[in-house]
Amino acid sequence: MSALFAPIRLGALALPNRIVVAPMCQYSAEDGRATDWHLIHLGHLALSGAGLLILEATGVVPEGRITPLDLGLYDDATEAALARVLDGVRRYSDMPLGIQLAHAGRKASSRAPWDGGALILPEDGGWTPVAPSAVPHGADEPPPQALDAAGLDRVRRAFAQAAERSARLGLDLVELHAAHGYLLHQFLSPLANRREDAYGGSLENRMRFPLEVFDAVRAAFPADKPVGIRISASDWVAGGWDLEQSLAFAEALDARGCDFIHVSSGGLATAQQIPLEPGYQIHFAAAIRQAVKMPVIGVGLITEPEHAEAIVAAGEADLVALARGMLYDPRWPWHAAARLGAQVHAPKQYWRCEPHEARGLFFGMRDGKR
């Protein structure tokens, strides 16, 4: 039996296989509101046969969006727009759906990647980002505004309120975004966090605010639905956040009842040096998996089904996430199941496309007939 296609649970949520569609920013919202693009994008990914689909990084406040085009979940209008999209997706797919709640911190107010990704100044239609400390992301950028006590409280409450909205939308899972150089990652890393209060300095202090946000979201989201987190296990910069600190953070989350941890890396510092190769982050996931009870999701340049199978079979990660690879091949789980001799869920409307050489690929098919 394929390890990749074995069922698993994240808390009380049952998944039919170990393939996760990772969150992927689309930069296609209108004032934070989901659009028809999201219906098309999520709709076809929800037919992919993966075990779980996690929506893109979703701003919990307008100023927490990476770009003005980011998805948001911070008022009734953004909630209603996302409800319309989710209703359309669920009409034809029963795939579990999660959401990644995020705040971009000092990386907010940026242009979309296809427009260069540079910081947008307030006089050009952007806004002043907030961060743990007044330390800019790029050397040529103005500093962000350091969050004071009232600001910390606003952000903490915004995450909790977005979790409440996620629950009303019927989402199955929440993933907190503490990776890729965004706000919660900025609190963790000594390269971005220069605070001298209870939220800066020691590792315990730097972990304090992300853990408070986790606690607030966990309290706001239904107890029978999983809450997890995505981290960057390393800044890939000397003196920055690293695996040893990630292990301590993962253990603290595990003790709080975190349901899963999604292990990525990088994104905080422009000086990062990342040795890109297939599975380049999996050794981080494997180390964290040895230290915690909760399931671990591995991610990073995993494109071949046999590679994903080997990762899960070897116990390096409990699940494998794909992002760019899933955009390139939205039926990747189908093709993986065919190569690994497994079965996958597919919509009835597509059953007749089952290849002759992979008969029995789709659950529900009988002798190639409907």
Among 214, 204, 278, 285, which Cα is nearest to 243's? 285
Between CA 177 and CA 23 the distance in angstroms is 10
171 φ/ψ angles, rounded to the nearest 5 degrees: -65, 145
Which run of H or E residues covers position 130?
strand 130-131
Which run of H or E residues covers position 78?
helix 76-92
Between CA 266 and CA 235 the distance in angstroms is 5
Q: How many CA atoms lie within 13 A of 6 on its CB side?
A: 12
Q: Tell me the angle at which helices 203-220 and 149-168 cross, rounded to the nearest 10 degrees.
A: 30
Between CA 103 and CA 118 the distance in angstroms is 17
Does residue 350 have an active-site annotation? no
Q: Which of 182, 199, 280, 350 is catalytic?
A: 182
Please give the structure tokens belonging to residue 333.
């789980």
For 254-278, the three-class secondary structure string (H helix, E strand, C coil) is HHCCCCCEEEECCCCCCCCCCCCCC
For residues 51 and 20, is the Cβ–Cβ distance under 8 A? yes
Among 169, 86, 184, which Cα is nearest to 131's? 184
Among 88, 35, 78, 37, which Cα is nearest to 58's? 78
Please identify every residue annotated as catalytic: 182
